[in-house]
Chains A and B, each alone.
Chain A
Amino acid sequence: MSISSGKFASITLGAFALALGLASPAMAQEKLKVGFIYVGPVGDFGWSYQHDVGRKAIEAAFPGKVETTFIENVPEADSERSIEQLARTGHKLIFTTSFGYMEPTLKVAKKYPNVMFEHATGFKREKNVSTYSAKFHEGRFIIGKIAGKLTKSNTIGYVGSMPIPEVVAGINAFYLGAKSVNPDVKIKVAWAFDWFNPGKEGDAAKALMDQGADIITQHTDSPAPLQQAAARGKYAFGQASDMSKFAEKNILTSIIDNWAPYYVERTRAVLEGKWQSQDVFDGLAKGKVVMGPYVNMPDDVKKLAMETEEGIRTGKIDPFTCPIIAQDGKAVECKDGKLNDGQIASMNFYVQGIEGTIPK
């Protein structure tokens, strides 16, 4: 059989690989292709940036054995074709790294039963779809305590992204932390309805400060809110990565997402043929959530923060220790003296003391 020059290059490549395979079996082993879908640009210096750090860790951990690809700036509502593109081009392990990719991931997973999917921060699983998340709310409980101690106006501004359980749980944990050290504290929430829109995030921070907030915290991905706080001499926290260089004198600490160990572990599982669908939800204890240095605060506050961090890590402190009273005054159902992971991952209520309603 002759192959005409018009045939696809892949046929030639395939034949080439086959020939090599006969010569040396080790070389023939196909590289595992691992794909990533990011909601923002890898340069957001926040959420997507940290996922990309994890992607690079995979490449470093398995030199010559894996090949990674990423698609950045993928809108949640229009993500299906990007996910499918990765599945179609031979990626065997695909990480979809935003909550809104949940349904599209499940849809594509159904079509490609031999591809393994890992969906971040979601709660729907399939045979070939795992979910994983981190207990960022543990970090938010700590920064809540810091903010509660340091606020002079007793008003803290919170720049929200999307009203999803992860963000709501973060607001609650932050407030509970703040209130535990300062009963008079109030928080104001402004939703940007965007994960990444520096201009709007910054404007939200300004609006919160105009309304009396003297400390800003954020659940959006760019350093803009932190920077705007610094411009007015107010304190703020870094999000997702250590953002200290954007506001050295005004940052208090950062909640850092550390995905690398998990990504390496899951890639190894695929390489060894041991991958199984699972749900992982861990935080400070496993090092998936890491706190940045505590700076620009008095020693007693720093000590409190470190003790809280240590307490959460060793399991002595839990941000959602019962009783948890919801905004409507009713106590939340509680079994082991604290809310369970499922309750936290699906949280859709504010705790008592937070004003306003969660956008529906």
Chain B
Amino acid sequence: MLSRVAENIYWMGRYLERAENTARLVSVTGTLLLDQPGTNRSHGWNRLVTITGCNAAFAQTGEQPGEAGVTRFLLVAADNSSSLVSSVAYARENLRAMRDTFPGEFWEGINDFSLFLREQSGAGVEAAHRHEFLHAVIGRCQTLVGILMGTLSRGVAFDFFSMGQHMERADMCTRILDVDVAAGQPLSGLDSLWLHLLRSVSGEPMYRRHVNPRVNAVDVVAFLLRDRRFPRAFNFCLHEVERCLETLDHNALGIQLIKRVERSVDTRDVSGLIADGPGAFMDELQQALQRLHEILSATYF
């Protein structure tokens, strides 16, 4: 496979995943803030910009901090290259350059998604319609991935898509853990914070069934970092990247790095992590992902 095509597919996976994660993040923040009476809600929204690593870009757009400015920036801003609308537009552009590699329904689906965003994205900024809009966005992302699951042959194209998707997902996992734990002021009780965290990744039923019917900080953080069965947990994502790499040549460096990171996640003392604030460790994981991306890029693209 051409390097350019592989890179296009990898990024398409990342963009689609980023679109879904952005929708999840905005959705969960909105609900969480409603449950924290008395706190400065604007502050809660502004932290989202920090989580996504977009402080500088946000300052440049001239948007006002606060709910309206932040949701506009994260969902519809064309000048934010990581916004929901931009992510879908990039995914579509990438696909356009390699339509022949993918099933027709996938192209139709992504086209339809773009049209939907063109008509409806305004609703994401209005608090009253936001939930419905974000729900539809998440559903469309899942449908698109579902089409690939059901129609794309398992091979190099599928693996590069999956690597992009899971790299992005692992990255987002470290970002939500970082912020939410740090922001967890026990005003309304921590439990509600952990619950929201689980819900943001649709992980509540899996956690209750497989880990603990009761929600508590240590178990939730350990679940989101280490679980090997839950598809949005950090180590699950890394493991999927590893699985894809195993089918490719020249994979030694990447696999070595993944194994090292998985081990450090597995052996980390979670209660200590929560007590000290997870910021430093999450930074470390993000840097490891960045290194892994650089290895993929240098080897295959």
> A and B, one complex?
no
Chain A positions within 8 Å of B, measured between CB atoms, are none
Residues of B within 8 A of A (CB): none
